[in-house]
Amino acid sequence: MKVILIGFATSYKSSVAQLIGKKFGLPVIDTDLLIETQQGQTISQIFAQNGEEYFRNLEQQVVEQLIDVDNVVISCGGGTPLAPNFCKLAQSGIVVWLQVSATSAKYRMTKGTRPLFDSLSVEQLQQKIQRRAPIYQQYAQHVVSTDHRTSTQVANKVYNIICK
């Protein structure tokens, strides 16, 4: 089994992946953490030193590495589904889109750093979310809203959907 979580920044992908991994007894791969480990830098440092295009190329490489990996839960960075070969990864597992509203995303962003989004208003975040939504929808087999839910509640919902 391969579970692939996609969605905009702050949609609980990383925390839900950890919880789902425990429920299914599967290892978890977070694409952002994998990039950080492979590069020896944080995502923020990669963006600052090399820019977004360089980071997207790294995401592409990670997607290629994960296509043939099985029995895993994958938490994708918010932009990972933009990678040209993401369709191959999506075909190899169960893809769940964790949706978040711009208002919830903005509130959650006060708790961390998101190089592309930290300084954006709710309206600007809404535009970004709307631009990515068709891409997320293209790959999602299931959609779960994270608004007004804890990561544990979202993980339980995802688990129940997958187990049906």
Per-residue model confidence (pLDDT) at position 105: 86
In the sheet with 142-145, reading across from the earlier edge strand, the strands are 28-30, 72-75, 2-6, 94-99, 142-145
Local confidence band at 113 (pLDDT 50, 70, 90 cut-offs): low
Which of 19-33, 51-65, 114-128 has the lowest average pLDDT? 114-128
Q: Which CATH number fits the domain that encloses residue 121?
A: 3.40.50.300
What's the mean pLDDT in 155-164?
A: 95
Domain tally for the chain? 1
Per-residue model confidence (pLDDT) at position 111: 60
H/E segment holding residue 22: helix 13-24
Q: Note down the domain range covering 58.
A: 2-163
Per-residue model confidence (pLDDT) at position 112: 57
Whether the predicted pLDDT of 155 surpasses 80: yes
What's the mean pLDDT in 106-126?
A: 74
